[in-house]
A = this chain, B = another copy of it.
Amino acid sequence: MATLAMQDDYQTIRAVPAGAGLDLIRLAPEVVAHGTIVPVAREAAIFVQEDEVAHVYKVVSGAVRVTRLLTDGRRHIVAFYFAGELFGLEAGDTHQFSAEAVVASRIAFVRRSAVATEAENSDSAIWVVWRLMAKELARAQEHALVLGRLSAAEKVSAFLRDMAVRTGCNNAIDLPMSRTDIADYLGLTIETVSRTLTLMERQGAIRFSGARHIDLQGGRSLARVA
């Protein structure tokens, strides 16, 4: 099991600062809502398990992880979110997960009620939320497939490809998260992640410049290693 960063060591942002200004947050190409952009420190919590669901969030810059802790301390990372992505949408009234900034980030807080209002006023807003949820569902199902049926090498390979696609750059990745985060996302240990990455570099599929910057060596090289 991975060691856990103790939440209490870090700042927790669980409400928009009083008197904060309102910004217009683009939730989708054709939908905006009023919200507040809040700077969130590295490792600070944005919401925690059991909190009441009050906002929908958008990553303005930085990176966020959504996690769940088991009672015995095991940690599972549900998803990572990067600049431009929405998160925090849950059906119930209390959060089933926690969300923390992986690196210092700017997060847009949009009150749930602000989205609901938009939804009543415009045809498109409800479908935006619908599409968001559908996307999350597809992501979760894909994640389950990866966790259930792929080998360690295949998991890491799939992870790197996903990161490359989502950060927009197709031949280089700057990982904002630690090996521990990757391990808890892929259902592996930190040692296995590290070994797998080392092996991939030895086989020429990737190249490191520092532990967090990876150059992908094009073609099917990643798939071949997996």
Contact = CB atoms under 8 A, between A and B. Distances in A.
Interface string A108-152: 000000000000000000100111011111101101110111000
A138 B96 contact: yes
A6 interface: no
Contacts of A187: 147-149
A18 interface: no
A186 B145 CA distance: 10
Interface residues of A, number: 30
A70 interface: yes
Given A140-B144, A144-B147, A147-B144, A134 B91 contact: yes
A68 interface: yes
A145 B91 contact: no
A149 B74 contact: yes
Given A133-B137, A134-B133, A145 B68 contact: yes
A90 interface: yes
**Closest 4 pairs between A and B when the two form their complex, measured CB to CB:** A91-B134, A148-B187, A140-B140, A147-B147
